[in-house]
């Protein structure tokens, strides 16, 4: 573990505070006219997603958590668990859907993802900004359905429901933004 001071904090940095894995969402150095300087932070628990505000003395030592990013391939679902294979060691690990969060809505078999590991524990997943998924079910487009801005719900191959333009048909591949869940364009 690397020990750093609160003066070295940056947004996105992971800390090990009292056995909890916390990520710095926001921080502010405060130097009042009277008294000692301090650092006001907003921290997000990477296991539960809860956010807390915490104040540290300036220069206070904290443990930095080392998060390892590993390239993995999603192989298949085993019951409720998602089975991933490490691209370098070929080891397989099972990941529960709660750990993946919303990323589970964008994963299909043989897709690549970067799993964030803290020791042997998966604490998150990094997906590309956009993924290509096939529409499993939606109302078919009708000739002349070109109303600007009009949309309809479509169920993707992963089960996620997104709003798509009226002209998009079942079986078509579309690009979806993984950060917002919005339709971007037709793929291809």
Tens digit of pLDDT for each residue in 84-117? 999 888 899 998 888 888 888 888 888 888 998 8
**What per-residue confidence (pLDDT) applies to 55?**
92
Domain covering 68-126: architecture = Beta Barrel (2.40)
Rounded to 5°, the CA angle 103-72-184 comes to 40
Residues of the chain with CATH 2.40.50.140: 68-126, 130-186
For residue 149, name the pLDDT band (cuts at 50, 70, 90): low
Residues near 170 by Cβ (< 8 Å), separated by ≥ 6? Answer: 135, 136, 137, 138, 140, 154
| Alpha-carbon span 40 to 168, nearest angstrom | 48
- Counting residues of the chain whose pLDDT is more than 70, the rounded percentage is 94
2-64 belongs to CATH 3.40.190.10 = no
The mean per-residue pLDDT over the stretch 7-13 comes to 87
Tens digit of pLDDT for each residue in 69-78? 899 999 998 8
Of 3.90.1570.10, 3.40.50.450, 2.60.120.560, 2.40.50.140, the CATH number of 130-186 is: 2.40.50.140
Lowest mean pLDDT among 88-97, 123-132, 138-147: 138-147
Residues of the chain with CATH 2.30.30.30: 2-64
């Amino acid at each position: 573990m690397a020990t750093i001071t609160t003066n070295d904090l940056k947004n996105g940095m992971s800390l090990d505070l009292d056995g909890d894995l916390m990520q710095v969402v926001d921080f502010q150095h405060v130097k009042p006219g009277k008294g000692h300087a301090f650092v006001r932070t907003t921290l997000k628990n990477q296991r539960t997603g809860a956010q807390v505000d915490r104040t540290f003395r300036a220069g206070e030592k904290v443990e930095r958590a080392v998060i390892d990013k590993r390239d993995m391939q999603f192989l298949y679902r085993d019951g409720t668990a998602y089975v991933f294979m490490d691209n370098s060691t070929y080891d397989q690990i099972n990941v529960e859907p709660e750990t993946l969060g919303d990323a589970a809505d964008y994963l299909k078999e043989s897709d690549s993802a970067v799993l964030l590991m803290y020791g042997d524990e998966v604490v998150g997943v990094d997906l590309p900004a956009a993924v290509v998924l096939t529409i499993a079910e939606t109302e078919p487009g009708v000739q002349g359905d070109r109303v600007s801005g009009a949309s309809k719900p479509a169920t993707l191959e992963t089960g996620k429901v997104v709003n798509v333009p009226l002209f998009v048909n079942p079986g078509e591949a579309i690009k979806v933004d993984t950060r917002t869940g919005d339709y971007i364009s037709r793929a291809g």
